[in-house]
Chains A and B, each alone.
Chain A
């Protein structure tokens, strides 16, 4: 059930973010469903391929989408267990996100454009910094809760025990930083600019068009959904044991997450590239602190 929720609802997150930002800017803003319209529009368009490119750029959107879909299959959300659950599955989830990134970076390099090269260089750099933090967050949860799989960890993280809940707050913040960086949101990347020196994700897909672009945009919406529901699973302590209630709470929390991202994007500026490594090290440090806390 949960993958279907993601497939249907993930583009809505972008709509909520955009609407929030429009509200802060005093604009009316685009419709909440704009992202769906964009996807359908792109599916109906033709494509333009660069003469420099090879099969790599043609395959990449679909590799990205396939890996996002596979990740959805092991992702449990409150109230809905994942389709497949096994010990250590969070490492697989983590690796599938790397597959997604690998395909986008290769496609960017395929065009031979210096802008896209720059974007992909920054993409691998940021994820290089974000990966240890993400892995550590999972390890803390596994260690604290004595669980081997995502299912065991996310079913009720707040059973971690008295005095250890502080660790959960640390992880929650750390995971939120990783989420912003991995999804190329402000303050790490500005999804709205079309100026090459500030953007990362947007610059890597400059040469994608038509259904290919649609595939990539959809994959990035799914990626936001995946990391977002992990964050929600850890940060929102409410579990009712009732399918309907749990689903409603989960969806409301996802909307809340989009709202928070929208607010942050409205009130924060993008940080300087040099500072990005500091912000991401903060995520790792927080995870290490959480780790020490769970041990104590």
Chain B
């Protein structure tokens, strides 16, 4: 039944894309696209829930005459979990797209947008369900290419074309590693079906590194993350929401799927690699997010930070598996899957909110914003709630993921005996501390500078928040709160996905872990309810007190200065400057300071910009040296046919000499 529902969902997409060809009218095709994705996503959610509630898994097999290929689909609890995320975020982003593009003042057809949206949406669902290497790679490519075209939607802007180029190179670089990975694992097989895949006894670490690079590029592990901060600001907001909420998680899905073939061969080095990568990604992600000024770029770096948290969870899981610290391992994997879902919901709501802000202000620069809360009260409140959640604060869901990770670290620390166990626990905890403090700073800054205070620039605002502009945000924010409080009800989904996918988990460990989950998540939910009810009560008391008191309004107190102007407000850059200054050795900050240096005040100027450290220190030097070599060789390319014929003749001559000279 689950498979049937999934097929229905694909059939709706397929017929829908045919329908789009015949719909000439922009508005009609736009509405049709929205409806088609919504219907398809409802079917997908139904398929996912059917399988997860049923608890088992469903399969569909059809031979295929493509070399190594077969049409093998399988929805197991892991797939169902990711399908659920895709269904919800994909459907709501489609609804938001409807609002987002109807305000555009062009007659450009949206058929192309919807066509690629269908492919991206369908392709991701195929990635999550494909159970054959060739089918998986095809779906992976379809997803990547469709998202490339969606990023390029506003291709009249130059920075969008540049971002699309970076994304294209990055995603294909990643796919190349996957091709090698599947090729090596499946080298002795006739058909690349996943259930036949098995890690070789030796060289498993090499394969795992390949997987980490290939899938890590999509997920955004440092230093493979460089495409994220380029592509997200360039893409239309609903696409950013879908990409950041779901698509980067396909990388995490891939890594977990690959691990299911690694029975008995997991080595501690994998876990150490994942923890190290995760810690690096998380810390650098949050530091970059603090230093950026473009709203969507900040959100992109925050996604990288959260991928770091997810990576650390995977790392604890792997390390625990290899050291047979079962409870720590299960908690680590559950934490990372929980955070996948959390981050998917939180980040998509933030990106959709950012879309409304972008539309209202026509700029992404937070230093030109301020005071938007009064213009966009609903969006502001929901954006504020999601910021609160993604900063990892209770009672929202962002906290639950970090809490589970913390629990796994605690288990690692107490069960483990080696120096290495404790050292890794220390590393994760220190990074979690930095990430926690950093993300509170980052999101108070983002929310405070954009929505609170006074407008920093005098310009026209076009606030719209009705219908599908705001509806998806309500759903997402509401589910974030529910997931935070009812985490106990949700955890079995993640736990089930881990237990059913990964080998080497004993029954006793599973029981122990379930007990810990129940012991912790139930009181956590209770505390959440307590917090909310105390807050509600206190606010009611405050209201009833203030009814009997005077409530006056006056300008903000500025210590007696009589002409405060909005330009005097603290900016986002100055807000985060102390933290960035502390880490200036680690980051690439360029500061330009101009001052005549006389005794009396003269004009002075200061500018600072944060560059991506990986782009600056890894990729740019490499690309520069490649270009250098290439320009040297470039001289050979003369452009005259005679010279080229000379080259051919020379080559033949050399070959003949070698042949005659007996050089093999």
Could you tell me which A residues sit within 8 Å of B by CB distance?
43-56, 58-59, 61-63, 65-67, 69-70, 73-74, 84-89, 91-92, 95-96, 98-99, 101-102, 105-106, 109-118, 120-122, 124-125, 127-136, 139, 142-143, 146, 148, 196, 206-207, 210-212, 215, 277, 284, 288, 291, 295
B554 and A50: CB pair below 8 A? yes
Known: A74-B527, A95-B392, A128-B441. A112 touches B556 (CB 8 A): yes
Known: A106-B447, A146-B414. A125 touches B579 (CB 8 A): yes
A120 contacts B419, C-beta separation under 8 Å: no
Instruction: Point out the residues of chain B lying under 8 angstroms from A46, CB to CB.
Output: 546, 549-552
B531 in the interface, Cβ–Cβ < 8 Å? yes
Contact A50 B553 (CB under 8 A): yes
Residue B354, interface by CB 8 Å? no
Instruction: Find out whether the CB atom of A132 lies under 8 angstroms from the CB atom of B539.
Output: no
A-B CB proximity, top 3 nearest: A117-B570, A109-B448, A132-B433
Tell yes or no: B454 within 8 A of A by CB.
Answer: yes
A95, B444: Cβ atoms under 8 Å? no
Answer whether residue B338 sits at the interface, using C-beta atoms and an 8 A cutoff.
no
Q: Least Cβ distance of A42 to chain B in Å?
A: 11
Within 8 Å by CB of A114, from B392, B422, B437, B570, lies B570
Contacts A47-B546, A106-B447, A277-B582 given; indicate if A131 touches B534 (C-beta within 8 A). no
| Chain B 402-435 interface mask (CB, 8 Å, partner A; 1/0) | 1100110110011000010010011001101110
- Inter-subunit contact A112/B453 (CB<8 Å): yes
A202 vs chain B, min Cβ distance (A): 12
| A122: B residues at CB distance < 8 A | 578
Q: Is the CB of A49 within 8 A of B426?
A: no
- Are B394 and A96 interface neighbours, CB within 8 A? yes
Which chain A residue shows the least CB distance to B532? A66
- Among B430, B440, B535, point to the contact of A127 (Cβ < 8 A): B440
A130 to B441 alpha-carbon distance, docked (Å): 13
Q: Is the CB of A143 within 8 A of B413?
A: yes
Residue B516 lies at the interface, judged by CB distance under 8 Å to chain A: yes
Give a binary string over B556-576; 1 marks a CB under 8 Å from any A CB, 0 the rest.
111100001010111000111
Q: Is B122 close to A, CB under 8 A?
A: no
Q: Identify which of A73, A135, A142 contacts B433 (C-beta below 8 A).
A: A135
| B440 in contact with A207 (CB, 8 Å) | no
B425 pairs with A52, CB closer than 8 A? no
The CA of A244 and the CA of B389, in the complex, are separated in Å by 41
- Contact between B452 and A54 (Cβ–Cβ < 8 Å)? yes
Taking the nearest CB of chain A, how far is it from the CB of B510, in angstroms?
Answer: 17
A63 neighbours in B (Cβ, 8 Å): 535
Dominant secondary structure at the B interface: helix
Among B101-109, B171-179, B199-207, B518-526, the one that faces the other chain is B518-526
| Partner among B392, B522, B552 whose Cβ is within 8 Å of the Cβ of A49 | B552
Q: How far, in whole Å, are A47 and B414 apart by their CA atoms in the complex?
A: 51
Chain B residue nearest to A109 (CB atoms) is B448
Q: Which residues of B contact A288 (CB under 8 A)?
A: 426
Asked whether B453 lies within 8 Å of A132 as measured between CB atoms, the reply is: no
Q: Which residues of chain A come closer than 8 Å to B542, judged between CB atoms?
A: 58, 61-62, 211-212, 215
Question: Which positions in B face A, CB cutoff 8 Å?
Answer: 370-371, 373-374, 377, 380-381, 384, 388, 391-394, 399, 402-403, 406-407, 409-410, 413-414, 419, 422, 425-426, 429-430, 432-434, 436-438, 440-441, 444-445, 447-449, 451-454, 516, 519-520, 522-524, 526-527, 530-532, 534-535, 538-539, 542, 545-546, 549-559, 564, 566, 568-570, 574-579, 582
Contacts A84-B526, A87-B516, A127-B440 known; A142 to B414 CB distance under 8 Å? yes
Distance A124 CA – B577 CA, assembled complex (angstroms): 11
Residue among B384, B531, B550, B551 facing the most chain A CB atoms (10 A cut-off): B531
A-B contact pairs, 16 of them (CB 8 A): A52-B556, A59-B535, A70-B534, A85-B523, A102-B440, A111-B557, A113-B569, A121-B574, A121-B577, A124-B441, A132-B430, A143-B414, A196-B559, A211-B542, A215-B538, A215-B542
Q: Which residue of B lies closest to A94 (CB)?
A: B436
Provide the bound-state CA to CA distance between A287 and B450, in Å.
Answer: 37
Given the known inter-chain contacts A105-B448, A136-B430, A139-B426, please indicate yes or no for A48 contacting B554, CB distance below 8 A: yes
Contact of B437 among A45, A89, A121, A129 (CB under 8 A): A129
**Bound CA–CA A23/B516 (angstroms):** 51
Assess the A109–B440 pair: CB atoms within 8 A.
Answer: no
Contact among A43, A129, A207 for B557, CB-based, below 8 A:
A207
Interface contact A86-B530, CB-CB below 8 Å: no
The minimal Cβ–Cβ distance linking B171 to chain A, given in whole angstroms, is 34
CA of A118 to CA of B577 in the docked complex: distance in angstroms? 11
Which partner residue on chain A sits nearest B438 by CB separation?
Answer: A128
Please, which residues of chain A bring their CB within 8 A of the CB of B414? 142-143, 146, 148
Decide: A84 and B434 in contact? CB cutoff 8 A: no
Tell me, rounded to whole Å, the shortest Cβ–Cβ distance linking B412 to chain A: 10
CB contacts (< 8 Å) of B370 on chain A: these are 112
* B570 pairs with A131, CB closer than 8 A: no
Which of B377, B432, B449 is A109 in contact with, Cβ under 8 Å?
B449
The docked-state distance in angstroms from the alpha carbon of A44 to that of B579 is 40
Inter-subunit contact A115/B550 (CB<8 Å): no
- Give every chain A residue within 8 A of B576 (Cβ-Cβ): 121
Residues of B within 8 A of A86 (CB): 519-520, 522-524
Closest to B426 in A: A291
* Residues of B with C-beta under 8 A to A58: 542
- Check A47–B551 contact: CB distance below 8 A: yes
CB distance from B589 to the nearest CB of A (A): 16
New A-B pairs, 16, CB < 8 Å, besides A62-B539, A117-B569, A131-B437: A46-B546, A59-B539, A62-B538, A63-B535, A86-B522, A91-B407, A95-B393, A105-B444, A111-B556, A112-B566, A114-B568, A114-B570, A135-B436, A139-B410, A139-B429, A142-B413
| B409 smallest CB distance to A (angstroms) | 8
- Asked whether B556 lies within 8 Å of A73 as measured between CB atoms, the reply is no
A143 and B374 CA atoms in complex are apart in Å by 49
Shortest distance between the CB of B33 and any CB in chain A (Å):
36
User: Cβ of A66 and Cβ of B535 under 8 Å apart?
Assistant: yes
Distance, CA A134 to CA B430, complexed state (A): 10
**A88 in contact with B392 given A117-B575, A124-B444 (CB within 8 Å):** no
Given contacts A111-B556, A112-B569, contact A70 B530 (CB under 8 A): yes
Q: Give Cα A139–Cα B411 distance, bound, in whole angstroms.
A: 11
Provide the residues of chain B in CB contact with A118, threshold 8 Å. 570, 574
- Contact, CB under 8 Å: A112 / B452: yes
Minimum CB–CB distance for B599 against chain A, Å: 23
Q: Is the CB of B549 within 8 A of A45?
A: yes
B546 and A211 contacting across the interface, CB-CB below 8 Å: yes
Query: Known interface pairs A48-B552, A109-B444. Does A136 touch B452 (Cβ–Cβ under 8 Å)?
Result: no
Chain B residue contacts of A291, Cβ below 8 A: 422, 426
CB within 8 Å for A99 and B393 given contacts A52-B556, A115-B559: yes
* Bound CA–CA A129/B402 (angstroms): 19
Quick one: which of A51, A92, A111 contacts B527, CB cutoff 8 A? A92
B437 and A127 contacting across the interface, CB-CB below 8 Å = yes
Report the minimal beta-carbon distance from A11 to chain B, rounded to whole angstroms. Answer: 17
A122 and B552 alpha carbons, distance in the complex (Å): 29
Contact B569 A114, beta carbon cutoff 8 Å: yes
